[in-house]
Structure 1
Amino acid sequence: MIDRDDNGGSQNRGARSDLGSTDAIASQLKQYYTSVEQEPIPDNLLNLLEKLDAAERSGGSNGAN
């Protein structure tokens, strides 16, 4: 929040509250990330990763060339 002083200038009086809001958002994002990080990997994704590993071990091409 920017307020005008009597001389026509401006002061940033809301800087402290903005930092508090930023800290609160950062904290919530960290909590969310941690919860997502702890979720189990879906079986279909694990199956795809296993197939990829098997293809790499057998020397198969992944089509990227």
Structure 2
Amino acid sequence: MKIAEVGNIIEFKDGLKGVVEKVNENSVIVDITIMDNFHDLEMEEKTVVNHKRYKILANNE
């Protein structure tokens, strides 16, 4: 299992995408405001995602 790093873009929970802001032992904190339809989702700006529950889409390199 590859663990995301700060700045990576990840996909989780059926298509939600976000930028990793902090990496914890078992999870990452993700900013989901990069999504075009963020305001339609009625969600908080940040969310916590377990390492087992996401896929890395883009590296921060």
Assess same fold via TM > 0.5: no
| Bigger helix fraction | 1
Indicate the TM-score class for this superposition, using the shorter chain for normalisation. Answer: under 0.3
Of the two, which has the highest radius of gyration? 1
| Bigger strand fraction | 2
Does 1 or 2 have the higher relative contact order (CA < 8 Å, sep 6+)? 2
Instruction: Calculate the TM-score normalised by the size of structure 2.
Output: 0.21
